[in-house]
Structure 1
Amino acid sequence: MTEVRVEAADFDVSVEIARLRAGDARVGAVVSFVGTVRDMNDGDNVAELELEHYPGMTERALHDIVEQARARWPLYGVLVIHRIGPMRPLDQIVLVACTSAHRGEAFAACEFIMDYLKTDAPFWKKEQTPNGARWVDARVTDDTARAKWASR
């Protein structure tokens, strides 16, 4: 099973993971990552984070990232949910969950998907700070995290 969703609505992690692994007795490992909105970035308080995307293009990019992970590791299920629109600190932004027979593959695939999502998915972030709105630039650390997969 592969499922990719880009939506404004929040998600329930336990419900989503239960659905991902439901009825699949082969699953020996479920690994998930949940990204949340922080209240501080680059030394400024953040009151709101707004994510924008290109409908259609974003979903295709996420599917491509998942297929790259599936080509590297024997996965049974992959779920990616990425929220868009305005969010406040503590809100969930993204869920990546992978199932496999063993934990090593599930951990690696989950990390790979997140590293590629941070650099290759067409999302744009705008923060509301006490100094006004600002677009969030890509981070060198995200590029470095992604680059490690080229040698693996």
Structure 2
Amino acid sequence: MFVQVSEADFSQQTLYDQLLAQCDKPAGAIVTFTGLVRDFNAQGPIDGLELEHYPGMTENALLQLVEQAVSRFSLANAAAVHRIGRLANHDQIVWVGCAATHRHHAFEGACFIMDTLKQAVPLWKKEYQHGAAQWVEPKASDDQAAMAWLKKIQ
């Protein structure tokens, strides 16, 4: 398992290779997700965004989330990378990878991490639009996605 929070861009191939090399059992499937900065919000076009975090706490929360996914979905390995700082439209912002014996578990693990990340990991996003910056409020749809995973536990 590994996590990274950084201003630097990342190589999807390098992360994939690291994920596969660190598997603790044979992998029959690897699912990866790469999120990009959108160039719009509900109000129209945006000019990039900026992400802030709480150093140490953010990495620990991201690691706990990845550990939960490995345990819950019997993954061979999992990892997550999130960028911080100022990002332009279409820049890579997040990468998640899950390796498992069967594809279903890899897909579920990746979905779980992405659906839960916004509620479980302390990151704050500011969008730039028309020369002004505005903090992004949590979305009800993000809360619902994370809550759906909690209901699946019961």
TM-score by shorter chain over 0.5: yes
After superposition, the CA RMSD in angstroms is 1.4
1:90-122 deviation per Cα after TM superposition (whole angstroms, max 9, x unaligned): 100000000010001010010001111021210
Provide the rounded CA distance (Å) in 2 between the counterparts of 1:143 and 1:22. Answer: 34
Q: CA deviation at 1:45?
A: 1.4
Is 1:139–2:154 an aligned residue pair?
Answer: no
- State TM-score, norm by structure 2: 0.93
Q: CA deviation at 1:71?
A: 2.1
1:115-134 deviation per Cα after TM superposition (whole angstroms, max 9, x unaligned): 11021210000111016110
Moved over 6 A (4+): none
Please tell me the residue identity of whatever aligns with 1:62. L
> Any stretches of 5+ residues in structure 2 without a counterpart?
none
Is 1:36–2:39 an aligned residue pair?
Answer: no
Paired position in structure 2 for 1:21: 20
Provide the rounded CA distance (Å) in 1 between the counterparts of 2:30 and 2:8. Answer: 23
> How many aligned positions are there?
151
Paired position in structure 2 for 1:8: 7
Provide the rounded CA distance (Å) in 2 between the counterparts of 1:39 and 1:148. Answer: 28
- State TM-score, norm by structure 1: 0.94
| Conserved? CA contact 1:44–1:130, under 8 Å | no
> Secondary structure at 1:107's aligned position in 2?
helix
> Any stretches of 5+ residues in structure 1 without a counterpart?
none
Q: CA deviation at 1:43?
A: 2.1
Paired position in structure 1 for 2:112: 112
